[in-house]
Amino acid sequence: MKDKLFIDTNVMLDLLGERMPFYDSIAKIATIADKGKVKLIVSALSYSTVYYLLSKFENNKVVKGKLRKFKVISETSDLTDRIIDKGLSSKFLDFEDALQFLCALKKDCNVIITRNVKDFKESSIPVMTPDEYLKSLLTE
């Protein structure tokens, strides 16, 4: 079974914003996904956040183009009323992280990829940075 990787907003932003020094490792994961070896899942919430942040530095058309390309190699986990209700009553300290976790759970992801591992202490899904995930592939 191929891994289903939930991509947290900060990592999606690293990829689409080509933010150094974080870009290279998520770009490698995106290439693996493009080859069909892993599945990338992202919350619908991440699209609006990434668009908002990137459009402060880049042309809106360029940002939309990047989001379209990313959508080709990823699946979207919908943000539903049920997820919002569960997030509001979860043990996560940060509401947005709770929503991300619940979106990953909904799509049966087996790894959450984030740069903020400590924010997912309540996660029942393994949490890794992009670098840690790439290193785990080498040990398989």
pLDDT given for residue 112 in this prediction: 97
Task: Give the pLDDT confidence score for residue 139 in this predicted structure.
Answer: 76
The per-residue pLDDT string of the chain (140 residues; one tens digit each, 9 = 90 and over) reads 689 999 999 999 999 999 999 999 999 999 999 998 999 999 999 999 999 999 999 999 999 999 999 999 999 999 999 999 999 999 998 999 999 999 999 999 999 999 989 989 889 999 999 999 999 888 76
Each as own residue / partner, the long-range contacts of residues 58-61 (CB below 8 Å, 24 or more positions apart, any chain) are none
Cα 25 from chain centre = 13
Residue corresponding to tokens 């942040």: 53
What is the domain-level CATH number for residue 39?
Answer: 3.40.50.1010
**Residue of 124, 107, 119 lying closest to 41 (CA atoms):** 107
8 Å CB contact between 45 and 96: yes
Q: Give the pLDDT confidence score for residue 140 in this predicted structure.
A: 63
- Strand ranges, E, within 62-106: 74-77
Residue 97 CB partners (closer than 8 Å, separation 6+):
116, 119, 120
pLDDT score of 138: 82
Beta pairing partners, 5? 40, 111
Which one-letter amino acid corresponds to residue 27? A
Take residue 108 and report the two structure tokens written for it.
């049966």
Q: pLDDT at position 1, please?
A: 62
**DSSP state for residue 37 in the 8-state scheme:** S
- When divided into structural domains, the chain yields a total of 1
Domain assignment of residue 52, given as a range: 4-138
For residue 7, list its beta bridge partners.
Answer: 113
Beta pairing partners, 128? 113
